[in-house]
Structure 1
Amino acid sequence: MTVTTPTPEDIRTTTPVLDLQQVTFRRGQTHILHGIDWTVRPGEHWALLGPNGAGKSTIMGFAGAQTHPSSGTVDVLGNRLGRVDMQTLRRDIGHVNPRHPVRSALTITQVVLTGLTGTVELPPRFTPTAEQVDSARALAQEFGLGARLDAPWPVLSQGERGKALIARAILADPQLLLLDEPTTGLDVAAREQFLEAVDELTERRPELTTVLVTHHLEELPETTTHALVISHGAVLAQGAVDEVITDEIITRAFEYPIAVTRTQGRWSARAVRHRA
């Protein structure tokens, strides 16, 4: 009998990117999460939805290898939290946060390069190689920032900042990309530019797995494949996006009558008004 040993690439392709089993989380005497089960597989693009206070940020803390559960198990990229060096694991996770606190006048190229160091500012002793600089500039160009590579952060529009942060997040070739309410503070044009960039990214890199957290359906990219809806710290529904984002489930999650529509791949939500 011939025994085939799986290659690292085989393991990367078949092992769940995220696997939460019976996860609970408590802060003091307050129970934040109650028995969360959730599995994310390679190449899937998840939306994490729910009202404020539902527990979305806590779940993203597990996904980003930032937080340990109170009970249950969390596996990220095949590594069990509590049995792996968290800092090392985070190198394979890209994170886009619109509240990225750049204080100095770093250029777009420099901000993208901080994706290699996992820092906000460039460390004093960090000197990128010519190849790393070329890669950072090439990524920024992919997102339409070719004419702004040397523009300082303070003068950038919110849309340009969002694109730069995506490039920063994927410079180190992560297996998982987390988008934490990425369109917060963007005007309509900047939001649409950002969502187009996300769609283009997932089409160019089909192996990349993404999780986007929001409580606004209008902020979901067209390439979203799955959705997890939580309410009061518990899973309300999860699965294929068209089966989860429905009038009934969204109404239950937000505890208000909501009608959901999808037009040309994008979602919207409106309150259901009962007229006499």
Structure 2
Amino acid sequence: MSDNLDGTTTGTRPEDGGTGARIVAALDGVGMRRITTGQIILDAVDWTVRAGEHWALLGPNGAGKTSILRLVGATHHPTTGTVEVLGHRLGRVDVRELRAHIGHVSTSQRVPLDLPGHTVVLTGHTGTVQPLWKAYDTEVRDRADALLAELDIKDLADRPYGVCSGGQRARVLIARALMADPALLLLDEPFNALDLPSREDLIDTMRRLAAGRPHLATVTVTHHLEELSPAIGHALLLRDGRVLARGPVEDVLTPDRMTACFGRPIEVTRHAGRWLARSAGQP
């Protein structure tokens, strides 16, 4: 495995099938228990994310999706098993340094509402809530400008974050996360509470981001197949902390597997790279 926190060298595992693809994150026999009650949160989870892959994490509430995201985001440690991120095993690396190379987007992130969009993006360079102006030289400021342009939100540069729409905020946060040029981008329910136009704008942003950054790996937690970008090529289904299925989306997002995951009959269709799930028997 790589000795660099940016994951630039090659590492392989048996499940690579001999492709030599670089491993970005790997869970091996991972279990998590709640210390106070002994409740099982995750049980014997095996999962590998490679450079350039785009994964969706799906499952009912309480299935363990956020717990997995916290593990690969290096904010939690497993109770059993091993977690490796960017070539480093949790428990053997300074996680503060490791987190600097992982992009994380969540609607629960604390962002001062009065900061303009450009400043919010700048704080991604220092990983701080408030800006540290002395740390932002011309090169850093230009990079923030370029990211706003890449995500098609240059018009938000001077707009206070607090008056941005939900979809605009999500794209500002993605730009902020990309300031560290991460190898791995984690998105925790980024479509939460978005209206239809905002959802579609964000989906298109994710599609373009995948096309423009071929080595970036992403993991998106969502509850709805309709929110999956056509760039999503892999899916992990969780139920009660256990993996029901993982792999290419066309193999995982089947009616039988979705029914087993969510506990009710579900029909699944796909058109032009977009997915739709509904209860079986609905007109």
Name the TM-score, length of structure 1 as normaliser.
0.93
Identity, % of aligned pairs? 48
Partner of 2:17: none
Q: What is the DSSP-based 3-state SS (H/G/I as helix, E as strand, rest coil) of the residue aligned with 1:17?
A: strand
Partner of 2:116: 107
1:115/1:171 contact within 8 Å kept: yes
153, 164, 179: which is aligned to 2:161? 153
How do 1:7-22 and structure 2 match up within 5 A? 8-10=8-10, 14-22=21-29
1:109/1:150 contact within 8 Å kept: yes
In the TM superposition, residue 238 of structure 1 has moved relative to its aligned partner by 0.5
How do 1:167-178 and structure 2 match up within 5 A? 167-178=175-186
User: In the aligned structure 2, how far is the partner of 1:170 from the partner of 1:206?
Assistant: 14
Deviations 1:33-70 (A, max 9, x none): 11000011111111111110000010000010000000
2:9/2:22 contact within 8 Å kept: no
Q: Which amino acid aligns with 2:117?
A: I
2:10/2:23 contact within 8 Å kept: no
Deviations 1:46-104 (A, max 9, x none): 11111100000100000100000001000001100000000100011001112222234
Partner of 1:253: 261
In the TM superposition, residue 245 of structure 1 has moved relative to its aligned partner by 0.3
1:100/1:120 contact within 8 Å kept: no
> Which consecutive unaligned segments of at least 5 residues does structure 1 have?
1-6
User: In the aligned structure 1, how far is the partner of 2:131 from the partner of 2:46?
Assistant: 38
26, 42, 55: which is aligned to 2:33? 26
In the TM superposition, residue 130 of structure 1 has moved relative to its aligned partner by 1.0
266, 272, 279: which is aligned to 1:264? 272
> Which consecutive unaligned segments of at least 5 residues does structure 2 have?
1-6, 13-19
2:104/2:187 contact within 8 Å kept: yes
In the TM superposition, residue 119 of structure 1 has moved relative to its aligned partner by 2.0
User: In the aligned structure 2, how far is the partner of 1:274 from the partner of 1:174?
Assistant: 42
89, 93, 112: which is aligned to 1:84? 93
User: In the aligned structure 1, how far is the partner of 2:181 from the partner of 2:112?
Assistant: 25
How do 1:126-205 and structure 2 match up within 5 A? 126-205=134-213
In the TM superposition, residue 163 of structure 1 has moved relative to its aligned partner by 1.1
Partner of 2:128: 119
In the TM superposition, residue 263 of structure 1 has moved relative to its aligned partner by 1.1
Q: What is the DSSP-based 3-state SS (H/G/I as helix, E as strand, rest coil) of the residue aligned with 1:112?
A: helix
218, 231, 238: which is aligned to 1:230? 238
1:15/1:78 contact within 8 Å kept: no
In the TM superposition, residue 10 of structure 1 has moved relative to its aligned partner by 4.2
Name the TM-score, length of structure 2 as normaliser.
0.90
Partner of 1:3: none
Deviations 1:222-249 (A, max 9, x none): 1001111010110000111100001000
Q: What is the DSSP-based 3-state SS (H/G/I as helix, E as strand, rest coil) of the residue aligned with 2:135?
A: coil
65, 75, 81: which is aligned to 2:74? 65
In the TM superposition, residue 11 of structure 1 has moved relative to its aligned partner by 5.2
User: In the aligned structure 2, how far is the partner of 1:258 from the partner of 1:200?
Assistant: 30
- Deviates most, 243-252 or 95-104: 95-104
